[in-house]
Amino acid sequence: MTDTTSHTEDSHAHGYITDKDRYLNRLKRIEGQARGIRTMVEDERYCIDILTQISALTSALDTVALGLLDDHLRHCVVDAARAGGVEAETKLAEASQAIARLVR
C-alpha cells in the first residue's frame, strides 16, 4: 500500500503548508493512539476494545489523508490545470491515483 515514488518540487510550496502545524499535531496524536493500541495488545486487553481503538485510528488517518488530498486538489492540481499541458495531465493522473488508493 506504500507508494515508493517520490515527487519533490523544491521550488513550489505545497498546498498544505499553511496547515502544516495542524497536520503535525494531528499526526502526533495519531502516533500516540498507535502506541496506545500496542500497549493494549501487550496488556492483553479485550479484543473489541482494541478494535474500537483501531477504528478511531483509521478514522484519524482518513481525516489527515482527505485534508491533504483537498489541499492538493485546491493548490497543486488547480495551479497545474491553469498552466495546462503535460503538467496538468500529470497532476490530474496523480490525484486520480491517490483517490483510488484511498478508497481501496
- Report pLDDT for 8: 44
Which residue is it, cell 502544516?
Answer: 20
Measured between alpha carbons, how far is residue 77 from residues 43, 67, 88, 91, 99 in Å? 46, 14, 7, 6, 13
The hierarchical CATH code for the domain 16-103 is 1.20.58.1000
Spell out the domain ranges in the chain: 16-103
Q: Give the ranges where 1-104 is alpha helix by DSSP (H).
A: 20-42, 47-72, 78-83, 85-103
- Report pLDDT for 12: 59
Q: Which residues of the chain have pLDDT under 70?
A: 1-13, 15
- Report pLDDT for 9: 46
With a CB cutoff of 8 Å and minimum separation 6, the contacts of 101 are: 1, 3
- Report pLDDT for 21: 92
